């Protein structure tokens, strides 16, 4: 990876790593006796290790000018592997934390770090940011170059984004285990990690803009719009929700600047748009590129894709308040969120329908090709969970579903059925292209992964649907004397079989991800053994970049 950098980029890398190492050192010094200090050492060790890596290859020959007539895919390749590593870690923690609900003694060591409250965010951040984020970064670099027919603007900044982002993920996950958290859903990392992510994110957006400015296609393909909405809106959400004052420069602890119900509103404006722009817009970008590619059919209606893009980006912005039904939030704001959530069904189903209509005429491929089937199932689950989301946002439905496992079912129908399935489908399409192979190491294992993932999702979602509705009903059932018929603990006991079923479903899904990871690694090893197909230079941008850029 260092060999792909020019000498001036290697110097820039060393400079940035030097600054990062001094930042880590400063954190370690200022944060003695505080988790901030531990994070300082983590940052220091990682940046010094990377600097050694750059130095060890510093005198390697520079990449030739011919590189400019090819796409720059090294960051995509590394990003795919990182995404799969995070998938296995994040899903493992998911299975563990779900098992804790069924068997609370499973903290093994009875240590604080293994308690539910600490390992749950390792699961959520691991799968959303570790797996999902790396998958988005890796595929966005690939899609951006192919659809604009332009090479990434330089070799350094994609690495800065990918490695910097993973540093954020490591600091986040290790912080949770030490008890560092802002206690905000999907925004748990503390102020210094948030600050670092802003820097990474600005560079990410700049890569997009710089590449688009040199594009050789007149029109910006719709997938790029989705990726750009993902990058831009996540930046805005992240900054606004994480405005906080640390109690001192040497402490990990900070307090948000938002008071009371405003904090709740800002948090769920953030939280729901994290679902919308992190887990939906970016992955729709994936779908709009890899699904037509794999099916070898153009998207059913390009116009519909534009209308649904603007519908989704506009309407999601207002939907967050449906998380705060029956709270101190003004009634009209709750109603606004509910109304926009219901209207969101239109652009969401337009996207899902567009994907399925694209497959019309290619159903024989869906039957034979597990990769395409992953994408088809993803589109179905996308349609399903967006319908469910609109439905649950209705105030009366929400009074039954809120605070129950129905919400957990809904989230996982989206996360397992839509986000993970479209990612696996895209990866199975992308990996052979990236490593110049005709196919994956084992198409049979892709098939195995598909059925493990699908059955795991179905077991999980049905278990949680049942659990959630039973919970909701038990909590609102009154007896003849007008008091609650069930105590809270009775509803917990009733959940036990569903929690076991949920853990089994999650285990299936994790097993599928492990199989997928193995298959990808074996495909890479196949490529290393020199089984490259001929004519690997067919994959080139339309016009070479000028060296000065």
User: How far is it, in rounded angstroms, from Cα 445 to Cα 457?
Assistant: 18
Sequence-distant (≥ 6) Cβ neighbours of residue 411 within 8 angstroms: none
CA proximity to 466, closest of 419, 391, 411, 401: 401
- State the Cα–Cα distance between residues 377 and 418, nearest whole angstrom: 8
Taking the least distance from each CB to other proteins, the nearer of 289 and 424 is: 289
Compare residues 131 and 289 and give the one whose CB is closer to other proteins.
289
Does 210 interact with other proteins (rule: CB under 8 A)?
Answer: no
Per CB under 8 A, the list member of 125, 147, 423, 466 interacting with other proteins is 147
Nearer to other proteins, 210 or 297 (CB): 297
Please report how many Cα atoms fall inside a 13 Å half-sphere around the Cα of residue 191, on the Cβ side. Answer: 17
Distance from chain centroid for Cα 97 = 19
CB of 539 to other proteins, least distance (A): 5
33: left (phi over 0), alpha (psi -120 to 50) or beta: left
218 touches other proteins (CB under 8 A): yes
Residue from the set 538, 546, 547, 548 that interacts with other proteins by CB under 8 A? 538
Nearer to other proteins, 480 or 535 (CB): 535
Q: Which of 299, 393, 420, 445 binds other proteins (CB under 8 A)?
A: 299
In this structure, is the dihedral angle defined by the CA atoms of residues 474, 269, 200 and 43, taken in order, positive or negative?
negative
Closest CB 146 distance from other proteins, rounded Å: 7
3-state secondary structure of 255: strand
Q: Which is nearer to other proteins, 172 or 355 (CB)?
A: 355
Of residues 222 and 234, the one with the C-beta less far from other proteins: 222
User: Is the four-CA dihedral 496, 499, 500, 501 of positive or negative sign?
Assistant: positive
For other proteins, the binding residue among 116, 310, 326, 363 (CB under 8 A) is 310
How many Å apart are CA 503 and CA 472, to the nearest integer? 21
The distance of Cα 18 from the centroid of its chain, to the nearest Å, equals 29
Q: Which of 57, 210, 293, 365 binds other proteins (CB under 8 A)?
A: 293
Using CB under 8 A as the binding rule, whether residue 314 contacts other proteins is answered as yes
Instruction: State how beta strands 244-246 and 254-256 pair.
Output: antiparallel
Based on the shown chain and the rule CB under 8 A, indicate whether residue 432 belongs to the binding site for other proteins. yes
353/349 Cα distance (integer angstroms): 6
φ/ψ of 248, rounded to 5, equals -165, 165
Q: Candidates 203-211, 232-240, 290-298, 416-424 — which segment interacts with other proteins by CB under 8 A?
A: 290-298
In angstroms, what is the minimal distance from the CB of 276 to other proteins? Answer: 16
Is residue 217 at the binding interface for other proteins, with CB under 8 A as the rule?
A: yes
CB-neighbour burial class of residue 6 (10 A; exposed 0-12, middle 13-18, buried 19+)? middle
How far is it, in rounded angstroms, from Cα 344 to Cα 390? Answer: 7
Nearer to other proteins, 201 or 225 (CB): 225
> Going residue by residue from 321 to 340, which x/- string records binding to other proteins, judged by CB under 8 A?
---------x-x--------
Q: Helix crossing, 302-316 with 331-343: angle to 10°?
A: 170
CB 496 within 8 A of CB 448: no
Interacting residues with other proteins between 468 and 527 (CB under 8 A): none
Q: Can residue 530 be called a binding residue for other proteins (CB under 8 A)? A: no
Residue 298 found at the interface with other proteins (CB under 8 A): yes
Q: Is residue 294 a contact residue for other proteins (CB under 8 A)?
A: no
> How far is residue 109's CA from residue 89's CA, in Å, rounded to a whole number?
19
Min. distance of Cβ 150 from other proteins in angstroms?
13
Comparison of 215 and 402: residue with beta carbon closer to other proteins: 215
What residues contact residue 228 under an 8 Å CB cut-off, 6+ apart?
Answer: 205, 208
Select from 239-247, 374-382, 389-397, 435-443 the region that touches other proteins (CB under 8 A). 435-443
Please tell me whether residue 33 adopts helix, strand or coil conformation: coil
Stretch that binds other proteins, among 141-149, 380-388, 394-402, 490-498 (CB under 8 A): 141-149
Please tell me whether residue 437 binds other proteins under the rule CB under 8 A. Answer: yes
Whether residue 112 contacts residue 470, with contact meaning beta carbons closer than 8 Å, is answered with no
Task: In angstroms, give the least distance from the CB of 142 to other proteins.
Answer: 9
Stretch that binds other proteins, among 164-172, 309-317, 496-504, 506-514 (CB under 8 A): 309-317
Among 156, 186, 289, 498, binds other proteins (CB under 8 A): 289
302 binds other proteins (CB under 8 A): yes
479, 480, 535, 548: which one binds other proteins (CB under 8 A): 535
Binder among 82, 137, 187, 222 for other proteins (CB under 8 A): 222
Crossing angle of helices 345-359/370-392, nearest 10°?
Answer: 160
Q: Does 247 bind other proteins (CB under 8 A)?
A: no
Both structure tokens of 395: 């105030």
* Binding interface with other proteins (CB under 8 A): 146-147, 149, 217-219, 221-223, 289, 292-293, 296-299, 302-304, 306-307, 310-311, 314, 330, 332, 432-433, 436-438, 532-536, 538-539
């Amino acid at each position: 990876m260092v060999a792909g950098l020019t000498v001036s980029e290697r110097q820039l890398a060393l400079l940035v790593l030097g600054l990062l190492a001094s930042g880590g050192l400063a954190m370690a010094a200022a944060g003695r006796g505080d988790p901030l200090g531990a994070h300082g050492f983590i940052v220091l060790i990682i940046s010094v290790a990377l600097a050694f890596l750059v130095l060890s290859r510093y005198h390697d020959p520079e990449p030739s000018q011919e590189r400019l007539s090819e796409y720059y895919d090294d960051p995509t390749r590394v990003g795919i592997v990182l995404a799969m590593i995070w998938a296995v870690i994040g899903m493992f923690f998911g299975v563990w934390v779900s098992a804790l609900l069924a068997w609370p003694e499973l903290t093994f060591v009875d240590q604080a770090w293994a308690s539910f409250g600490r390992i749950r965010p390792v699961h959520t951040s691991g799968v959303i940011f570790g797996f999902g984020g790396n998958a988005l970064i890796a595929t966005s670099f690939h899609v951006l170059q192919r659809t604009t027919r332009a090479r990434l603007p330089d070799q350094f900044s994609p690495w800065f984004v990918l490695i910097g982002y993973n540093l954020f993920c490591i600091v986040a996950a290790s912080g949770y285990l030490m008890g560092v958290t802002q206690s905000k859903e999907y925004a748990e990392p503390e102020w210094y990690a948030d600050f670092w992510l802003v820097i990474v994110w600005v560079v990410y957006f700049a890569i997009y803009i710089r590449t688009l400015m040199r594009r050789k296609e007149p029109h910006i393909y719709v997938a790029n719009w989705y990726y750009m909405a993902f990058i831009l809106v996540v930046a805005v959400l992240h900054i606004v929700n994480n405005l906080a004052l640390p109690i001192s420069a040497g402490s990990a602890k900070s307090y948000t600047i938002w008071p009371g119900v405003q904090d709740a509103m800002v948090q769920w404006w953030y939280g729901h748009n994290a679902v919308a722009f992190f887990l939906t817009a970016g992955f729709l970008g994936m779908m709009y590129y890899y699904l037509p590619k794999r099916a070898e059919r153009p998207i059913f209606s390009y116009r519909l894709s534009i209308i649904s893009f603007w519908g989704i980006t506009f309407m999601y912005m207002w939907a967050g308040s449906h998380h705060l039904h029956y709270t101190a939030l003004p009634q009209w704001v709750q109603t606004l969120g509910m109304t926009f959530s219901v209207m969101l069904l239109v652009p969401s189903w337009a996207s899902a329908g567009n994907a399925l209509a694209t497959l019309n005429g290619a159903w024989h491929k869906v039957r034979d090709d597990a990769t395409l089937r992953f994408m088809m199932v993803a589109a179905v689950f996308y349609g399903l969970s967006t319908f469910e989301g609109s439905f649950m946002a209705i105030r009366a439905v929400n009074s039954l579903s809120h605070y129950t496992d129905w919400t957990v079912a809904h989230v996982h129908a989206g996360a397992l059925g839509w986000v993970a399935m479209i990612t696996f489908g895209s990866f199975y399409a992308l990996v052979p292209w990236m490593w110049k192979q005709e196919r994956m190491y084992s198409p049979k294992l892709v098939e195995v992964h598909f059925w493990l993932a699908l059955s795991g999702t179905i077991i999980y979602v049905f278990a949680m649907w049942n659990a959630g509705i039973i919970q909701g009903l038990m909590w609102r059932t009154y007896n003849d004397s007008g008091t609650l018929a069930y105590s809270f603990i009775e509803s917990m006991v009733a959940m036990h079989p569903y929690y076991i079923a949920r853990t089994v479903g999650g285990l299936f899904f994790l097993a599928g991800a492990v199989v997928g990871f193995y298959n990808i690694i074996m495909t890479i090893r196949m490529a290393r053994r020199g089984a490259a197909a001929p004519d690997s230079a067919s994959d080139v941008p339309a016009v070479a970049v000028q060296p000065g850029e």
